[in-house]
Structure 1
Amino acid sequence: MANLPIVQFEEKIIKTVEQNPVVVIIGETGSGKSTQLSQMLRRSGYSKSGIIGVPQPRRVAAVSVARRVAQELGVRLGEEVGYAIRFEDRTSEKTCIKYLTDGVLLRESLANPMLNQYSVIILDEAHERSLNTDILLGLVKHLITIKKSNLKILITSATLDGEKVSKFFSDCPVLNVPGKLYPVEILYSKERPKSYHESALKKALDIHVREPEGDVLIFMTGQVRVFSPPPPNCRRIIVATNIAETSLTVDGVVYVIDSGYVKQRQYNPSTGMYSLDVVQISKVQANQRAGRAGRTRPGKCYRLYPSSVYNDEFLDVTVPEIQRCSLAGSVLYLKSLDLSDIDILKFDFLDPPSSESLEDALRQLYLIDAIDENGQITSIGRTMAELPLEPSLSRTLMEANEYGCLSQALTVAAMLSAETALLPGRSKDTEKKRKQNNLDLPDGSGWGDHIQLLQIYECWHQTDYNIDWCKVNGLQVRGMTFVKDVRKQLCQIMEKIAKGPLDVRRSRRWRENQQDYYHLRKALCVGYANQLAERMIHHNGYRTLGFKAQTVQVHPSSALKPDEEGKLADYILYHELVATTRPYLRNLCSVDIKWATPIINKINKVNVNKLSGGVAHVDDGKLSDLPKKDAAAGAPDDHENRIQAARERFLARKGKK
């Protein structure tokens, strides 16, 4: 048994859990809450009535902590102790302790909204206030309120506002567990530096020259690998993002340098635009960072900002993700649950998102046929929710299946799901390398980035997925391998949804197929109905449609280029609208005006008040209920017909009752 502070409180914790459906545990840094709580509950017999689930906000934490617990129990990872993250499941029928991401748990709840497979759920690192964790907090509160579940809920954190969460759960008990943290000396700068990059480097070199042995952890806004051990007789200087603030101990760290900043992705629902902004951290984050220096011995934290900045400018807590991101996927999830008494706009959040964000999500879902004009989820929407993708890509796959180009759409979805830059030309260094080696990767045939991504993957497929081909062409090997695995799993999920095999074969002798490109672009147009843009005649840019009337530009990295006459396509779809030095459209594909016209007409008829309707289900149909169209003959461009047909089937059934 691990010698950690939380173990001393085992009897008290178990007794409190037995007597209460929800318990908040504030475990200070180093207390052992992430690894020991699940083992305590297993020893007390909770694993006999179900799985002990421990959702984490981060993939790396779910994997690493599961590995640690398996090691402590002396079992093989994937058997009694396992983990599940998006596109990777290391569990079995023997698994009784399961670490997983909060997103995976949400997806599991679609099949089982009561979460009956679990006896206990430990919401770990809740202070990070990830979008999925906040949704889970609302969901488990709903389950406990309706008193239809024997589920036990533990909410753990090192810095969470326990009183606030306790009040949210009807004054549930709060237990405080001390940590195993050595003293950390906090040293502030006299003034804010002109460049925190230069200041951090200077401080790291100063520590190396003047301070005793011990690794240095620098919190910056961009990241490298942090868990690799150093060579002998070397001092590591580790640069990390906020990923190193919680959950995991980076062994050997004695000195922390805190820049006071973090990169934060933010979404503006009024413009539909994402921005990746460098913002000041909160006091909670600053304290978490300082705590990293005292995990193994007394340490020092050098803050590259004055104490007045910490006291007067830093927010007390981090702004919850639910208040700074697009909610389309979350709203679709909530509407997909078999819990008819859930009202989206009245759903009980710990910190509610703005009504503007919810309305924006409803508009998005309506335009891609996930909900009807009364806000009721459609059969299409329910199927979309079963796919571990953002709504635009889920809708694209469904439409591609009807158009006979599912194989190509699966590839595009997998390439866009890779959480890293895969391609040369997306960074200055790889662009230089590409020019030096005269590489000749596909260019998208003039249609744009989605087609280029498809062509690149198909070229790799033609080489039997040769890793050397990726290296020669400057492609990220690990990322491309991840894409291959994702594509395989998406194919399996689609077959499961369709209840049978689908046509996802690819020709070994790959060649450009203009007809496939035609149908793929049509499917993408349906999936990205909320993300269309019209070229401005008098500007070298585009006006985004719908509720985002603004002029933006094509990102310089895009494969979409002007034609021989120097003209860009009249209409395009975009995967992302981002604000950097200026507003840019990223990952683009040209579309035909006749495909866009029905969508534009639909945009003009949106009534948000009606979209906020109930959560009744229109149709219980699955993907297999949707007839596959003759790809050679083409397909109707007006998707209103299919929605109307679904509506008529619903009314017909209702009339028979």
Structure 2
Amino acid sequence: MVRLQLPIVAEEQAIMEAIYYNSVVIICGETGSGKTTQVPQFLYEAGYGSKESPGVRAGVIGVTEPRRVAAVSMSKRVAQEMALPTSVVSYQIRYEGNVTEKTAIKFMTDGVLLREVEQDFLLSKYSVIIIDEAHERSVFTDIMIGLLSRIVPLREKKEMPLKLVIMSATLKIDEFTENKLLFPTAPVVINVESRQYSVTVHFNRRTPNDYVNESFRKVCKIHRTLPAGGILVFVTGQREVEHLCRKLRRQFPSKFGQTSATAISRKMKHKKRHVKRSIVKVNLDDYSTEPTIPLRPDSLDDGEIADVECSSESEESDNGLLEGDGDLPLHVLPLYSLLPSDKQAKVFKVPPTGYRLCVIATNVAETSITIPHVKYVVDSGMVKQKVYDNVTGISTFRVTWTSKASANQRAGRAGRTDAGHCYRLFSSSVFQHHFPEFARAEISGRPVDDLILQMKSMGITVVENFPFPTPPKDEAIKAAEQLLVNLGALKEEKTSSGSVQRIVTSLGLVMAKFPVSPRCAKMLTLGHQNGCLPYIIALVAALSVKELFMDSNLPTSTSADMSEEQHQERQYSLRKRWAGQGGAELLGDLMVLLRAVGACEYSGNSEKFCSENGIRYKAMSEVRRLRLQLTNAVNGVVESSFLCVNPKMVPPSLEQARILRQIVLAGCSDHVARRIPVDTVNERGIKKAQIGYECLLTDDVVFIHPTTVLFRLKPDFVVFQELFETSKLYMRNLCAVEPDWLSVLSPHLCSYSKPLEQPPPDYDTQTGTVKCYMTSTFGKRCWCLSAQRLDFPEGLDKFKWFARFLLEGKVLPKLSKFVPLLLSKPSTMIKTWSKLHKRTETLLVALVQRNVNCYKQLKLELESNEEYLLTEYLVWVPKDTHSEVRHMWPPM
């Protein structure tokens, strides 16, 4: 392994030499080095793009980004810096792109490249693949790196070399250079230890309890005392972003219309001159939000005096200060993933004249994007992560410390366009001892059923042998494979060594073609019944997009003053209006999603309609695009379907709603919950007013959320899409199901009794199979289910009953005329002493040897051998009928 540490002037030459002489190169360095834009430009000029150069094979330079917004923005930035049209420097994300035949540099998300691997494993049209921001370690990133570690040597053998460049500012290098399964020969590592601009980091003396309020106070101090420059604040989620934006806007209201922009500009210039003259130190652990003497940036450094208590006032105490000076204008903008794209784009625009830009963001602003004019970063040090239980699949949102690597990324945002400062709202001691070095790879903290299905469909049978940079946990792989077996996507086969191997089925190959979770893919494969496929496509699209509804359709100021109970009641009323009445209501939250999608399409998908009805316009736009994508995918799988997206899709009928519930149950059979019986409520320590449910995933009691349309109905059995934990374990996206469906649609989770004697087994002429009644228990909790008419279980008794119905003329009606003439009663076949009669034993052996216990198999045997069963049947009838029997055989 070669590890180079370079001065800035030698970077370009060293990077180009490393890429030219090596197949795999890792480029790492501090945030702000600008390699994301420079490396593609270096490669293009060296002939790796659309130009030919001696010894270099021309092809497309592919650059992957972990986020869509990064792929789009980086494409535009590189095109602008290189003075090339977008037809040459292009992007491709899930739903859109501007790629042309002239494209030489292509920015895309990891998932787009993974789909291309499925179509062309060798990625023949690419000469270089650049994996950017590899430290974010999304599932797709890990899979792509593993695949590319095998594609690169294959391309080398075929004399069509492919270069792999892995770039990150804060990558955990050891997982790549010391992983012999991933890279047998350690790749070249180039360390770039220089920023474009310096960033000074300041720690708090003590770590506050209320980091949101502390962020507000710090922004106020920066804005009133420090020279011009944008402010970027990192908090954990949308609610914190909106809350902080409201506070800052009240503190620094817009003055356009009261004071001219020119006057504001003059005031800001005067403020800058005043800053240069006034240099004093203050204690930022004891400051107010009132205006004070302007300071230098380094005077906001709180030092490391451990015995000084950090002030952390409540929002109510701050409100008394909000009536102070308000003539300092601040342009406050939010930035989070669920924000509409047009509002996200506002942070990249120049703020109004005389205004200071202040962006309140989640970790979406941590990497890949550059917000102009940011000079000050305020870092809360916190991040909201979705934590999964690998076995149960229960998800919990937890606010935890971010990693040291992520904190350094955040600090680097202040040095992208000028020298800056980062103010960390925690002490250096907390940073040193409580922050992990690197963020956990996504693949080690989420279910991997979709990942396993994709890999199996690509021919990767033994997942454990795949060269993951960080392999998923064994229990996660086992849980994913078991789920896929239950869904019918995988089947178990024994190898020559005697071990059991799970391979993909034909159903699994079809499911893998749909870009959704395996559960939703199973629903799509079953959706053709009774004209339900358009509804299933719309439903799957809505389920695949998170947070379709807003927290409230009331104005923000009104919503903020509502109690939690009032807020939940408002949400319940909104969803109840969408759900409908009667049988449609039993489809629950899924009917709400269907009606919302249909009504939004009917209105032309207008932003006004979404706002008035509590729907996120950005989420609904994504549903619309995914609905179109799934429709095309279904048409590609089933060529005769000829589906189209109906903009005026009417709500499903009652019968269709019932079938939709059954289809959802078939896809989520392990997500069934049963209401706890009233007589055992007290034993479980639950209040009768809060009737809970028990499910198969956890021993804890789960509840229907108060905003769910089934909250007051409380059906006996429900199926849910997801469990999430807040103050309790709640089920999300529910619909009611009938207990009689469980044994029919989820046989793999049922334990059946022996066939009941009463009612006795019978022959189903429509299916041509032997049916019987059996009681069953469902799941590990052994919920007792009533007797159901099901297929007779496989075994010798099934052959006996089939033989009886054959002799009775129920299987082949032409034989019914001989029933009165039979030498023994057909019921003899099922007697315990049937072996005492030679004719019963002969007929039974003939059926067992050819595995004939249904009409379909019998028909196949008679078509291939017209005299099949003739000899065995003749011993059952008198000799004077033998000629007639021979003449009409086979009796089809």
TM-score bin (small chain): 0.7 to 0.9
2:641 is aligned with 1:487: no
- Within the candidate set 139, 147, 163, 2:147 is matched to 139
Q: Is the 8 A contact 1:256 1:290 kept in 2?
A: yes
2:133 is aligned with 1:125: yes
- Percent same amino acid among aligned pairs? 36
Which residue identity lines up with residue 79 of structure 2 in the other structure? A
Distance of 1:253 and 1:27 partners within structure 2: 21
Q: Deviations over 1:516-569 (max 9, x none)?
A: 212222221222233222222245222222x54432111222222343xxxx22
Distance of 1:604 and 1:550 partners within structure 2: 21
Distance of 2:569 and 2:9 partners within structure 1: 55
- CA gap of 1:588–1:120, structure 2 versus 1, over 3 A, is same
- CA gap of 1:143–1:549, structure 2 versus 1, over 3 A, is farther
Which residue identity lines up with residue 34 of structure 1 in the other structure? T
Aligned to 1:21: 23
**Which ranges of 4 or more aligned residues in structure 1 deviate by more than 6 Å?**
429-434
Aligned to 2:166: 155
Which residue identity lines up with residue 77 of structure 2 in the other structure? R
Aligned to 1:544: 695
Aligned with 2:669: secondary structure?
A: coil
2:730 is aligned with 1:584: yes
Distance of 2:395 and 2:519 partners within structure 1: 16
Distance of 2:205 and 2:193 partners within structure 1: 32
Aligned to 2:92: 84
Q: Is the 8 A contact 1:27 1:33 kept in 2?
A: no
- CA gap of 1:228–1:393, structure 2 versus 1, over 3 A, is farther
Distance of 2:569 and 2:674 partners within structure 1: 32
Q: Deviations over 1:285-313 (max 9, x none)?
A: 11111111122222221111111111111
Counterpart mapping for 1:181-330 below 5 A: 181-223=196-238, 224-225=334-335, 226-330=347-451
Q: Deviations over 1:86-119 (max 9, x none)?
A: 2223322222211111122122222222222322
Distance of 1:305 and 1:24 partners within structure 2: 32
TM-score (norm 2): 0.63
Aligned to 2:189: 174
- CA gap of 1:53–1:401, structure 2 versus 1, over 3 A, is farther
2:195 is aligned with 1:55: no
Aligned with 2:597: secondary structure?
A: helix
Which residue identity lines up with residue 585 of structure 2 in the other structure? G
Between 1:223-232 and 1:242-251, the stretch displaced more is 223-232
Distance of 2:102 and 2:670 partners within structure 1: 44
Q: Deviations over 1:48-97 (max 9, x none)?
A: 543211111111111110111222333443x2222222222332222221
Aligned with 2:503: secondary structure?
A: coil
Between 1:138-147 and 1:386-395, the stretch displaced more is 138-147
2:507 is aligned with 1:386: no
Distance of 1:541 and 1:8 partners within structure 2: 66
Which residue identity lines up with residue 130 of structure 1 in the other structure? S
Q: Is the 8 A contact 2:175 2:470 kept in 1?
A: no
CA RMSD of aligned residues (A): 3.1
Which residue identity lines up with residue 156 of structure 1 in the other structure? M
Q: Is the 8 A contact 1:403 1:523 kept in 2?
A: no
| Structure with bigger gyration radius | 2
Aligned to 1:609: none
Between 1:409-418 and 1:276-285, the stretch displaced more is 409-418
Shift of 1:509: 7.7
Shift of 1:508: 4.3
Q: Where in structure 2 are there 5+ consecutive unaligned residues?
A: 1-6, 51-57, 239-333, 336-346, 494-501, 682-690, 752-788, 795-850, 861-892
Q: Is the 8 A contact 2:598 2:648 kept in 1?
A: no
2:517 is aligned with 1:371: no
Shift of 1:598: 4.4
Distance of 2:447 and 2:8 partners within structure 1: 37
Aligned with 2:352: secondary structure?
A: coil
Distance of 2:651 and 2:707 partners within structure 1: 25
Shift of 1:338: 3.7
Aligned with 2:64: secondary structure?
A: strand
Aligned to 1:35: 37
Q: Paired residues, what number?
A: 602
Aligned to 2:465: 346
Aligned with 1:372: secondary structure?
A: strand
Shift of 1:498: 2.4
- Within the candidate set 360, 366, 378, 2:479 is matched to 360
Q: Where in structure 1 are there 5+ consecutive unaligned residues?
A: 606-635, 653-657
Highest RCO, 1 vs 2 (Cα 8 Å, sep ≥ 6)? 1
Aligned with 1:442: secondary structure?
A: helix
Q: Is the 8 A contact 2:552 2:614 kept in 1?
A: no
- CA gap of 1:200–1:468, structure 2 versus 1, over 3 A, is closer
Aligned with 1:217: secondary structure?
A: strand
Aligned to 2:338: none
Shift of 1:257: 1.0
Shift of 1:481: 2.7
Which residue identity lines up with residue 542 of structure 1 in the other structure? Y
- CA gap of 1:54–1:530, structure 2 versus 1, over 3 A, is farther
Distance of 1:98 and 1:327 partners within structure 2: 28
Shift of 1:255: 1.1
Q: Is the 8 A contact 2:32 2:197 kept in 1?
A: no
Shift of 1:506: 4.5
- CA gap of 1:455–1:305, structure 2 versus 1, over 3 A, is same
Shift of 1:163: 4.4
2:676 is aligned with 1:557: no
- Within the candidate set 556, 560, 570, 2:716 is matched to 570
Aligned to 1:44: 46
Counterpart mapping for 1:368-517 below 5 A: 368-374=487-493, 375-423=502-550, 441-444=577-580, 445-447=584-586, 448-504=588-644, 506=646, 508=648, 510-517=650-657
Distance of 2:523 and 2:121 partners within structure 1: 26
TM-score (norm 1): 0.85
Aligned to 1:110: 118
Q: Deviations over 1:598-637 (max 9, x none)?
A: 45541368xxxxxxxxxxxxxxxxxxxxxxxxxxxxxx99
